[in-house]
Amino acid sequence: MTAYSLDATDWRLLEALQRDGRATFAELARTVAMSPSAVTERVRRLEEAGVITGYSAVIDHERIGLPILAMVRLRYPTGNYKPFHDLLASTPEVLEAHHVTGDDCFVMKVAARSMRHLEETTGRISGLGAVTTSIVYSSPLERRPLVL
């Protein structure tokens, strides 16, 4: 895959959209000192190039009853990933899953209602291999926009 070449204006637009995905084209135009139509075209090009892959809401998990956040590492003993992908499809508590190097094969971010709920979820995951769970105390940096 070839990297898309971004200029300084593209980076400023991307930074603004990462901070506020609901910004209007007029607001973005003011940010980068361009016309709204030029900004609309640039954003469209970034979307078509796959640089911008979507827009979403950031949800506070505690406010919706999922106060426990954990990082779950899985040592997966086989190269057949279908059972793992099936588990991901049927386990909405898993918010992210990353195939990684090292002793563990996968690292997952899991949200749960309670310790019992987390135990049930990690129990299902452990059916595929050895699991190590780390409870998140706090997140001094939850997400950071990519900037130039």
C-beta separation of 68 from 111 below 8 A: yes
Q: What would you measure as the largest C-alpha separation in the chain, in angstroms?
A: 56
Top CATH class of 8-48 equals mainly alpha
Sequence ranges of the domains in the chain: 8-48, 62-135
Q: Which fold has domain 62-135?
A: Alpha-Beta Plaits (3.30.70)
Q: How far apart are the first and last CA of the chain?
A: 20
> Average pLDDT in the 77-90 region?
95
At 2 the pLDDT is 82
At 148 the pLDDT is 82
pLDDT (tens digit per residue) in 51-80: 999 999 999 999 999 999 999 999 999 889
At 64 the pLDDT is 97
Q: How far apart are CA 74 and CA 100, in angstroms?
A: 10
Nearest residue to 126 via CA among 102, 104, 148: 104
DSSP 38-104: HHHHHHHHHHHTTSS--------TGGGT--EEEEEEEE--SS--HHHHHHHHT-TTEEEEEE-SSS-
pLDDT (tens digit per residue) in 29-56: 999 999 999 999 999 999 999 999 999 9
Q: How far apart are CA 13 and CA 43, in angstroms?
A: 8
pLDDT (tens digit per residue) in 11-27: 999 999 999 999 999 99
> Average pLDDT in the 77-89 region?
95
pLDDT (tens digit per residue) in 88-135: 999 999 999 999 999 999 999 999 999 999 999 999 999 999 999 999
Res. 1: pLDDT tops 80: no
Output the pTM of the full model: 0.87
Q: Which tokens is 105 given? A: 């094969």
Q: Which tokens is 30 given? A: 């003011």
52 burial type by CB count under 10 A (0-12 exposed, 13-18 middle, 19+ buried):
middle
Beta bridge partners of 94: 110
